[in-house]
């Protein structure tokens, strides 16, 4: 059995995370030493200055006592901000392009400065729910969201060369 040498092994610090409709989900880390970047620099050179190598990772938070921290259930399940569908719905409600889609496909416009809140209200009404978080537990609402909102939105973007 052969041993695989890790690309990177060491401690680093979470710098931030983001999620967007066109950039996807991203996590950024601070490395303690500039030389720690060497393994990653070599990867982008091999792919023509493009990122995109697939890597596997196992991350464990380290406490002030230098011991692993056991994540809470809310952290593991990300229930504090809702599940995947609730987060997607919130992301869409904050997207100016999505507001245009709603206007052109549903004839619904939002007042400048309150677009995100009005869009969230519109989406809840469309799906028959009180909170976007219900999209992750209410199968009927989730099916409506997928069929009448998400899929037409994806097609609308493709038709305009945005996807």
- Per-residue pLDDT tens digits for 99-152: 999 999 999 999 988 899 999 999 999 999 999 999 989 999 999 999 999 999
Q: What CA–CA distance (Å, rounded) separates 80 from 132?
A: 13
Query: What number of CA atoms fall less than 13 Å from residue 121's CA on the CB side?
Result: 9
Angle at the Cα of 103 from the Cα atoms of 81 and 24, rounded to 5 degrees: 40
For the stretch 3-52, pLDDT in tens is: 777 777 778 788 877 777 666 788 888 888 888 888 777 776 655 666 66
């Amino acid at each position: 059995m052969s041993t695989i040498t890790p690309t990177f092994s060491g401690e680093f610090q979470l710098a931030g995370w983001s999620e967007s409709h066109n950039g996807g989900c991203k996590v950024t880390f601070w490395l303690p030493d500039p030389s720690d970047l060497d393994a990653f620099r070599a990867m982008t050179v091999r792919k023509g200055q493009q990122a995109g190598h697939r890597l596997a990772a196992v991350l464990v938070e380290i406490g002030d006592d230098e011991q692993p921290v056991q994540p809470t259930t809310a952290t593991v399940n990300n229930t504090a901000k809702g599940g995947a569908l609730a987060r997607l719905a919130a992301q869409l409600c904050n997207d100016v392009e999505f507001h245009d889609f709603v206007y052109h496909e549903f004839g619904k416009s939002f007042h400048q400065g309150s677009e995100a809140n009005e869009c969230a209200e519109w989406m809840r009404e469309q799906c028959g729910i009180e909170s976007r978080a219900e999209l992750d537990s209410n199968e009927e609402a989730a099916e409506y969201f997928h069929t009448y909102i998400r899929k037409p939105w994806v097609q609308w973007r493709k038709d305009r060369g945005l996807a």
